Structure formats: C-alpha cells, structure tokens
Structure 1
Amino acid sequence: MSGNEADRPERPSEVDGTAHLFRALGKIVKVLRKNAGLSQTELAEITHCSEDLISSIERGVRTPQPDFLIRVDPVLHAGGVLIAAVDDVREALTRARVRHPDWFRSFARAEAEAVALHYYAVQAVPGILQTPAYAEAVFRYRRPLYDEETIGKRLADRLARQAIFDVWPGPTMSFVIEESVLRRPLGGRDAFREQLRRVVEVARLRTVHFQIMPNDPDEHPGLEGAFTLLTPKGRREVAYVESYGHARLITDPEEVRMYTERYGIIRAQALTRRESLERIEKMLGEL
C-alpha cells in the first residue's frame, strides 16, 4: 500500500525531512562503524544494545534515538557529528508525535504509554512493524489517493512509532498475523523481503511473542477484522479497531472482554512462536 529514476515520482523522504533524516543517520552510522573497524556485533556489545538495533538503524528501519547517538558518537570517533544531530532528532520525533491525524491520535498516545500491546492483523503487517518501503506502498496505493505531502507525513509518523522497541523495559508485546498477509508482496519483491526480515527481527526480541495464523484452519474466531488490545499504565485494558479511517478506542469493560476472549482463542489456534519463525524463514527462502 519502478521505474527509471528520472520518471519516478517524488518520494516521501524528499517531501518530509523526518524520514530522510532517520535514513541518512543510519547510513552515516554504518560508514562510521566500518571506518572504525567494528562489526555490528562488536558495536552492539560496546554500546550495550542489541545487534538487531544496530542493523535496523543502519538500514533506516528503526529510528536512532538521541541517547543512542550520544552513546555511539565517541565509540565511532565521530567527533561530535552524531551528537550534533540530537536536537534535530528530538524535534523530528516530537513533530511526528503531534502530527497523527485526529482520528488516530488517541490510539497513538495510548500505544506510546502502554505496558502491554497485542496486535491481530488480517490485511497488512501492523504499522508498528512496517519498514519504510512497505509502509510507503501501503500509503501510496490506497484509495482515494494521498498527495505526496500527506504520504510523507504519514510515513514519518509510522516510523516514529517504532521507537517503542528501543525503550527498556519495553511493554509486553504480542502479534498474531494472518499467513495471507505474509504472502502478499506489497511494495515489490525486494521491499517485501526486507519486510519479512524485519518481522523476524522483532519476533526474536525477548519482549515480543509472535505467531502466524495459518491459512488452513476450518474454523476461525477472528473474521470480523483486525484489532489491537492495549493496557495503559495504571489503567484497564482497552481495545482499538479501525476501518477506512474510522477508528474506535473501546473502553467498555464488557466489550473489551469480548476482544480479549477472541484474541485468546486466535492465539490458541495459531502456530507456535517457533513454528511461526520457521514458516517465515521458509517464505524468505522462496523469495
């Protein structure tokens, strides 16, 4: 949701500086790391973060947080270049947080503050897992069409939400994704391969439990569509549903209970975490 560069429409990163900034910083970190003679594993050990985080930042999949830039600058002998970008990153993250469309803002706020998040996806990879190329395809090919400025803003907003994976301790998270979603190559073969790799990265995090709902069950409790369950800090669990820009943040305890029950049954019918990872690895091998 190709062509020659000369004929290519202006990309969101060119319209919205936020997405471009994050990708540019990732490339700079990669060059500095290589110049310092460090592998991703070595840099992760020195800076006390995961190798997945280093890899994702360098590929522009995850946002380099200000504290990461401050910590990594002296290690990579950057001479203050990365630290100089800290204020711009903070401003970009703040701008993205307040720029969500009105109908989505209450959920985005609740998601950022949640202590537990559970996502069930039936049409596309959940936004919080999407790579830049996959997310751009989601926004670019929707109907009615977005203009270039809106695509850029929505893309930057979506990528900024992924900062939640860089927080420690992070919220408890689980995902159940329909297998059909993971076989729909949005954005093209290369973009989709990168998206599947991103799903695997997140699925391997200790704070995440990931499952695939296979295509072959003869009964299914989740045919009414996608939803998210979230538990804000110090408050009761709530549910979020969205369809064509119409969103509901559900707080009624009885209605939330129905979604919680439905999610529990869906998880019970889905593949195990190990089986799910094995299936994605097989899909990657087929691409």
Structure 2
Amino acid sequence: MRLRAWFVCAALLLLSNTTTSSLAIASEPSDPEAAIRQMVRANAEKDLPTLSLLMAHDADIVSYSVGGRKYVGWPEFEREMREEFLNTKKIEIPITELKVWTKGDMAWFTMELDYTRYVGEGSEVKRTVLPLRETGVLERRAGRWQLLSWHESFRSAQLGGPLASPSASAGSHRLVSDSTSTAMPDMSGEWEILEVEDEKRYKATLDKSGNGPYTQHNGRFVTTSFADRLWQGTWQQPGNDREGGFEVLLSEDGTEAKGIWWYTRVGNHKNIPPREHGGTYQWKKLTPKPAHGQ
C-alpha cells in the first residue's frame, strides 16, 4: 500500500545515535484508525518524520503495490517514496472509505482513497487521480500503533492520467472485477492502442499470452501478470530507445482495456520512478474473439 507507493513513507532522518523511539509525534494517535488517518495526512503533507515513526522498519516485512512491485524491508521503499515527494508539487489524499478491526495489540484495515498528484509549475501543472484500495496490518509496539505490511491495488479502470478524475470519461463497460479468477483469456489478435493525452494511435499484434510487437518505434509488449482482469506488463521501443511499464483493466467481454503506461528508461536516463511520467491507455481488440471449438 504504497500511496505512491502510495500511502506511507519514511525518511532517513535518523541522526547519528538518535533512535526513532526518541522522536515524538506532535499528536500521538490513540487507536489504529487514528494512526491510519495520521499516516494519510502526513503523506499528503510530505511529513517524512511522522511517516517514519508510524511505519515499522523490520527488515523481513513484505508488502505489495500496484504495477507488480514487491518490497522487502525498508530501504528500496523509502527511496521510491522520497523520489515521489521530491517530484510532486502537491499531494491530496481524500479517504472515501475506511474500516478497522482490532484484537489486542493487532489491527487490520481496508481503505479506499483517491491519491491525487500535482506535477509541474504554473499553467503546466497536471493533476492525476489514482483511485486506490488498501489493506494492511498494524501492531501496537511500546504503546504506539505502527503499520507492518500492506497491499495496494486499483479499484477501477480509471487509473489516472493528466487532468483525470475517478468519475471522468466513464465508459459503458463495468470494468471493476468481481471475479476471483486468475485464468488469463486468449489475448491473441490485433489490438488498437490509443494514448489518450496525445491522441496517438497504433496497432499491436499479440499472441495468446499477451506478448507481441506494435507499430510504434518497432515496439514490443510483454505481459508479466494477469489476475482478476488486471493486466500488467512492460513495453520496449528500440526505435527511440525507450522502455517502461503498463497496467490496464480488461473489460468483462475481453474486447477492451483501460489503464495507464509509464516510462522506466529514456535513452541513458535510467531509474525513472515508475508512474512518474506517462499517460493513459485505451485498448480495443480488432480481431474477433475465436469461436469455441476452433
């Protein structure tokens, strides 16, 4: 639950011989719900000290975020969050739903929120809304509630993009999955790809596993995972020396998909934070679905 990664963060503000237990939060949360809300507020305010105190730093803790990312321990997660805070002008995180259960010194929760990022300056500021759902576990340690492990996913097909909002451009298909099936449908055929912001169109020819070339800069898509219609993968463009990732939600009939794409490398510029630069995808399958029995 990354809250860009998306939700909690921390800082390497451990001064020499200073422990996290010696740092005080201005208003210590009295219960797990208060701790969660304080973390979300601190994330929006880019308050690294508070976030660091409210998240456990155990080396063996495993958490998962959107885009198939897995975090073990603290360091790589902290680096990505630090980049996010540096690269955003403003962050807003309204919570739309939060439920918390407690038993002794343990608590677990489900939450829905709209992670809203503002990037750029002046008239060039772009607003991106990421509709997320979060689940996680907290533990009370020495009287303080701390987040242990979390999992984050998108809750709808409107996965962001400049000037996007959760309710904008709603299509006729209900793209939120109610299924627990992880079986991947046959992706083979020709697909029309639209990069929404630039109104750029090209075509991809995929095999049944969702891999294949596309007609922009000798590009190629590689599918890395598919679960509950959430389709994730990578793209490479040798023609202009760029690569990145994508995440789209497939419609129930398997003929359309909507989501986002982003850069991870542009020429010699590597280690671009995932989802920091990119746009919105709309895919449409042009090849008819194969008839049963063929």
Q: TM-score, normalised by structure 2?
A: 0.28
TM-score by length of 1: 0.28
Please say which structure displays the higher CA radius of gyration.
2
Q: From the two aligned structures, give the one with the greater strand fraction.
A: 2
Higher relative contact order (CA 8 A, sep 6+): 1
